[in-house]
Amino acid sequence: MQSKALILTGAAMAAALALGACNKPADSTSAPVDQASDAAAMAPPAAPPAQAATPTDAAGFVTAAAASDLYEIAAAKVAVTKSKSAEVKTFAERMIHDHSATTAAVKGIIAGQKLAVAPPAALDGRHKEMIDKLDAADPGAFDKTYIDQQVAAHDEALGVFKGFAAGGDNEALKAFAASTAPKIQEHDDMAKKIQAGL
């Protein structure tokens, strides 16, 4: 019985010494590393630039989505006419079809919900400049110019749609954004595949 008590006392002392070692301050060589990691853990994460520009109100989303569709359709019409590549022309025809469909879907949601929002009917200045650059591209560089624009445009659109799906203020438009984002990702992947082969 007495030996059992001694064993228990010894075990308790060993545990106390182990705990004391855990609470012992770190030596000077490891302190800066610990402080640096603490500072990094406490620093707020940097917000991605695309996320900061993502509209969360219905009017902003409708404007951004419609502007994207208008540009995609206009650029694709130029590509169908000017590209010498069957693959690029097929991609462009797909853009006309799919982006016309998303425009119709957005207009249907606006009408169905009687939203006081009107999508733009013409290209904005930035997208007009992109079309002008595409129109003026040297025939030998046309496909690269078009596909480079497509990759950038779809990356941007993906940010808008995913951002609105996550934090938008209109449930019907949020559902539309969430269901359309995979299609935009598919377009983006197609454009990047073509880009890699140019």
**What is the per-residue pLDDT across 119-171, written as a single tens digit (0 to 9) for each?**
999 999 999 999 999 999 999 999 999 999 999 999 999 999 999 999 999 99
Give the tokens for residue 52.
């900061």
DSSP string, 125-173: HHHHHHHHHHHHS-GGGHHHHHHHHHHHHHHHHHHHHHHHHHH-S-HHH
- Token pair 């140019």 is at which residue? 198
Return the pLDDT at 54: 81
Q: Which residues are within 8 A (CB) of 54 and not within 5 positions of it... i.e. 6 or more apart?
A: 159, 160, 162, 163, 164, 167
- What distance lies between CA 26 and its chain's CA centroid? 42
Q: What is the pTM of this model?
A: 0.73
- Residue 166: CB partners within 8 Å, gap ≥ 6? none
Q: What is the pLDDT of residues 55-99, one digit of tens each?
A: 999 999 999 999 999 999 999 999 999 999 999 999 999 999 999
Rg from Cα positions in the chain: 29
Of the chain, the percentage scoring pLDDT greater than 90 comes to 72
Domains, the chain? 55-197 (1.20.1260.10)
> At 81, which helix (H) or strand (E)?
helix 58-82
Q: Residue 53 has what pLDDT?
A: 62
